[in-house]
Structure 1
Amino acid sequence: MKKLFIAFGFVVALLVAGLVVLATMDFNRLGKDHAYVQITEDGVEDRSVATDGTVYMSYWYEQVAYDEDGKEVLVKFSASKNLRHEAYLMLYTKDGNEVTSYDEVQYDELPAKVKAQFK
């Protein structure tokens, strides 16, 4: 009986750990390639209205980014706000140029071959 309780406790702990991992993991970033871009102008505003009247704004950017080897990649992505000019972004990409997420980074954090493209 004691072994049954230990086994049951182990299974419950494993399930809880699995749920915690699933809840905290961002699958939009997991296993993705990186490209880097500098925001130089405002995004194109896209306004949509939900059936309840709520207005949703997004801003679309289409510009050249650079992969970690310094090669050009044309990317198109959206943000929920107009991004800060001169900001550097690390884009999470799949299939070459499909952007799934992004993070703002500092110039010092850029790969050397990417820094050369922004000078």
Structure 2
Amino acid sequence: MKKGIIISGIVTVLLLVTFGGAYYWYNANYGTESYYTQIVTNGTKSVDTDDNGNKYVHYSYNQAIYNKDGQKIVTEFNSVEARPLKRNAYLKIGYNAHRKQVISWEKVDKQNVPKKALDKLDK
């Protein structure tokens, strides 16, 4: 009986370490913090070719983004649309600090931008 308890304890610890490590790795590589920005340029147009030889257009943006506390980062992100993003639109950016890159972005209404970030964007 004592042997069964010890084995169960070891298995439990190993499972916790494995899942804890996987959770940490996932958050470090794919977890994001929310930042906000306003599109103030038309971006830089690029025409590239995919693996099948098809051409596609995308736009790159290099600009400041702000978190809910108003802390600034300058980063680059892309739009896969064949037209520039709408000027003056507000975006919520999913930024991964470990990879130092934008993971996702989505359009948000101005009232959904935190006040400290909005104050920085409106300057």
TM-score (norm 2): 0.67
Q: Is the 8 A contact 2:32 2:97 kept in 1?
A: no
CA distance in 2, matches of 1:100, 1:52: 25
Amino acid at match of 2:64: V
Matches within 5 A, 1:21-60: 31-60=31-60
Identity %: 25
CA positional deviation for 1:117: 1.2
Note closer, same or farther for the CA distance 1:51–1:66 as it changes in structure 2 (3 Å cut). Answer: closer
**Structure 2: 5+ residue runs without aligned partners?**
1-26
Counterpart in the other structure of 2:63:
63
CA distance in 2, matches of 1:32, 1:61: 19
Counterpart in the other structure of 1:117:
120
Amino acid at match of 1:116: D
CA distance in 1, matches of 2:50, 2:33: 33
CA distance in 2, matches of 1:51, 1:91: 28
Counterpart in the other structure of 2:16:
none
Task: Output one character per residue of 1:10-63: Cα deviation in whole Å (capped at 9) or x when no partner.
Answer: xxxxxxxxxxxxxxxxx9xx6310111100111111111235431111110001
CA distance in 2, matches of 1:78, 1:54: 19
Count residues with an aligned counterpart: 91
Note closer, same or farther for the CA distance 1:51–1:99 as it changes in structure 2 (3 Å cut). Answer: closer
Q: Is the 8 A contact 2:42 2:87 kept in 1?
A: yes
Note closer, same or farther for the CA distance 1:48–1:111 as it changes in structure 2 (3 Å cut). Answer: same
Note closer, same or farther for the CA distance 1:52–1:98 as it changes in structure 2 (3 Å cut). Answer: closer
The alignment's C-alpha RMSD in Å is: 1.9
TM-score (norm 1): 0.69
